[in-house]
């Protein structure tokens, strides 16, 4: 028997949550507002998740982490 069982304790397996990161690559003509709306997140959350200091300037090819994305 397992040591925990021998002492009268039960062992419970707890599943580890799988975290899937969603990354969006900025395309020509996209705005942060459009990207936020597409993924159902707030603009403020998108800005905060990506440490964006000036939301009026985003570069094509920038990889954005979508907060809460699964």
Question: Which domains are delineated in the chain?
Answer: 16-66 (3.10.350.10)
Q: What are 3-55's pLDDT values in tens digits?
A: 555 566 677 777 776 667 899 999 999 999 999 999 999 999 999 999 999 99
Statement: residue 70 has pLDDT above 70: no
User: Encoding tokens for residue 1?
Assistant: 């028997």
Query: What is the predicted pLDDT for the residue at 64?
Result: 98
Query: What is the predicted pLDDT for the residue at 6?
Result: 56
Q: How many CB atoms lie within 10 A of CB 13?
A: 5
């Amino acid at each position: 028997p397992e040591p925990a069982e021998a002492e009268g304790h039960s062992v419970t397996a707890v599943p580890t949550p799988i975290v899937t990161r969603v990354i969006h690559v900025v395309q020509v003509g996209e705005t942060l507002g459009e990207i936020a709306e597409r993924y159902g997140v707030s603009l403020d959350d998108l800005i905060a998740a990506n440490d964006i200091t000036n939301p009026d300037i985003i570069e094509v090819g920038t990889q954005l982490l979508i907060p809460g994305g699964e």
